[in-house]
Amino acid sequence: MPITAAGRFFIDETGRRRILHGVNLSGASKVPVQPPGATHLPDSLDDPRNASFIGRPFPLDEADEHFARLKGWGLDFLRFIVTWEALAHAGPGCIDEAYLDYLSAVLEKAHAHDLLVFIDPHQDVWSRFCGGDGAPAWTFAAVGLDINRFSETGAALLHQEQPDSFPQLMWANNYTRYACFTMFTLFFGGREFAPQLQVDGQNIQDYLQGRYCAAYSALARRLRGLPNLLGFGSMNEPSGGLLGLPDLRSNDHAPFKLGVMPTPAQAIFLANGFAQDCLDFGLPLVDRLPGQTKPARIDPQGATVWRDGVDDVWRAQGIWDVDKAGQPRMLRPSHFARADFLQDFLKPFVERFASAIHAEMPDAQIFIEAEPMGPPPNYDAIDKLVYAPHFYDAVTLFTRRFHPQLNVDFFSMRPLLGEAQIRRHLSKELGRFRHYADDVLGELPIVIGEVGIPFDLNGGGAFKSGDFSRQAQALDYSLRALDDHLYSYTLWNYSPDNSNARGDQWNGEDLSIFSRDQQADPADINSGGRGLQGFVRPYARKVAGDPQRMRYDRARGLFTFTFKHDSAISEPTELFVPNLAFPAGYRIEVSDGEYEVDSEAQRVLYRHSGKDMPHMIRIVSNAPVPKELSPWGKLMIAAALALVVLALLRRMLRR
């Protein structure tokens, strides 16, 4: 491996500590090329067994263009999206060998551009066929579910049903819908909670997990000769489904309440043909305050989600039944309460997956994560682990609005006033991942696997004006908080076929740092980039010792990095210093030693003196520094924003 883990950092073959900045490639890899899989297309779910993902993330003849752009932006670390469906859409055990050939060729191109890669087995709400991406259609058939009945029974919300009116992030509502939570519960807990459900002589859990692991093992076998492949993630944002829920009659467990949300019990009844009166939570901070609801009725009119002749798996387990009056009744609402999803179900799955990957690639790093913002399991039987959680500024993500002086702590609903308070909050939230790691995982590297912002902020005005400065500022807030903790990260995301009209081609999301619609000059590597000043930033790429502090003040054009050297390392410290961030040039100040600048390669090499001292390097823009607001001016802005917050709260309460 070109890079291995040692304590909190990656190290290269020279012993230098590595801080990795990169990107997810790509958001559009969630959907097939053929048939055209963009989720706003009503027929995009047709003919699932004959789908092809060859050409995701881009046609092979475009690889050099995109990889050169990412390299020029300092993003030389790829979280490479590969769904289970892309590998095995044709049926259980049927691997798309042509797609493996394509992936091998693309990643060889990445190696030629000196880009490091890890494979992300991506999923959202289980599968495209229940509103997300990930698992192939045949997984539902194995359980007995009919994908053509999901919409009418409320078992899933599909963008295909509302191509022009699907609310932002409404796809996440599917975690509380029947198709998604049933598949996750069976995938992780079928042996314990559905022991009679057998497929080809195996319990459904072993059947599904075995085929999942086999698909990614086949990919590892094909790619194991690539020197730039660091390893594999185990599963993007895994969900426990019903596992651990204290009461199926309540939605109190849901971290985010979006739109019409049946309780798990109601979702089960709906999937079996019984109308239910549910609650509509709307979009928090968009059209109502958290906790405000209105009634909503869902009526499947007797239709069920099951294929003909198949009975509901949860009724078979005695969790619910129909009473003498013909009405559904929950018999065991706490049936899943005793389950510890992290330790008893997620952990053994990841151990099984890691074992399968290590059988093909013994030195592969395993990039682990858990449910968003939650702690990971306590792994004690896997080595070569990297912790790869996700982080988003929730208010900016949900509302598609950003103000540099106003935000909200999404969990406590406490207003955050002023840039300093917002930055402290973001940094504190990101610090929880190191606490999680220290508590249950020990010393290991952290890569924030997803971080980003919606580029259609404030109604998408930047698409017409070409001014993405607000997006750059929003990104800078999050990335500066990441630098506070010296985390590596991969931005979400780079979608080569992003468009202003349809975003990343998936559920209306628009988080791509690149779009052809903004590309005025194909010969200019920066043309098409969005919010470049936010993410094309200096950083310490290779450090001859232990990093201590890294900070980039974009407004002042000032970068500062401090480290303690390791006397066993003879190679210099290398910093990426993008010309884009310093258009007027820059000067360098060092605490000791010497440096050399390679502007063409956007690189500064620093050789410390060897003295037993913290070594510091400062990069200072030659551009004039803008004047800061006086304390009185900042106070006036904070007061005005407080009045704005109160006015918004009053307006939402009146609604």
- Report the distance separating Cα 448 and Cα 388, nearest Å: 5
Confidence at residue 362, expressed as pLDDT on a 0 to 100 scale: 96
Full-model pTM: 0.94
Whole-angstrom distance, CA of residue 364 vs CA of residue 373:
25
Query: CA–CA separation, 289 vs 397, rounded Å?
Result: 16
Predicted local distance difference test score (pLDDT) of residue 293: 84
Per-residue DSSP letters for 54-122?
Answer: TTSSS-GGGHHHHHHHHHHTT--EEEEEEEHHHHHTTSTT---HHHHHHHHHHHHHHHHTT-EEEEEEE
DSSP H/E element including 430: helix 419-440
- What does residue 385 show for φ and ψ, rounded to 5 degrees? -90, 145
Asked if 123 and 34 touch (Cβ cutoff 8 Å), the reply is: no
What are the distances in angstroms from CA 469 to CA 115, 177, 379, 457, 588? Answer: 28, 38, 42, 11, 26
Identified catalytic residue from 419, 450, 509, 574 = 450
Q: What is the mean pLDDT of each run of 10 residues along the chain (655 residues)?
A: 88 96 97 97 96 98 98 98 98 97 98 98 98 98 97 97 92 96 98 96 98 98 96 98 97 85 97 96 71 88 95 96 96 97 97 97 96 90 90 92 90 88 96 94 95 95 95 98 98 97 97 97 96 98 98 97 96 98 97 97 96 96 76 62 58 50
Could you tell me if 551 and 559 are in contact, meaning their C-beta atoms sit under 8 angstroms apart? Answer: yes
For 380, residues 6+ apart whose C-beta sits below 8 A from its C-beta are: none
Residue of 85, 237, 371, 574 with catalytic role: 237
Whether 192 is catalytic: no
CB 304 within 8 A of CB 272: yes
Return d(Cα 116, Cα 67) in angstroms, integer. 11
Per-residue pLDDT at 653: 46
Distant-in-sequence, close-in-space partners of 535: CB < 8 Å, separation ≥ 6: 73, 75, 472, 475, 479, 491, 513
Q: Where are the beta strands (DSSP E) in 168-288?
A: 198-199, 202-203, 229-233, 260-261, 276-280
Q: For Cα atoms 175, 176, 181, give the angle at the middle one, nearest 5 degrees.
A: 65
* Token pair of 480 as six digits: 């500066």
Kindly give the pairing relationship between strand 573-576 and strand 558-565.
unpaired
Instruction: Quote the Cα angle for 445-448-454, to 5°.
Output: 170
Largest CA distance in the chain: 86
What would the two tokens of residue 284 be?
């928090």
pLDDT number for residue 253? 83
* CA 54 distance to own-chain centroid: 22
> Is 237 an active-site residue?
yes
HEC profile of 449-464 = CECCCCCCHHHHHHHH
- Helix ranges (H only) for 114-177 are 138-143
- The DSSP output letter for 580 is G
State pLDDT tens for residues 629-638.
566 666 666 6
Q: How many residues in total does the chain contain?
A: 655
The per-residue pLDDT for 282 is: 84
pLDDT score at 347: 97
Question: What is the pLDDT, as a whole number, of residue 213?
Answer: 98
| Neighbouring-strand partners of residue 503 | 499
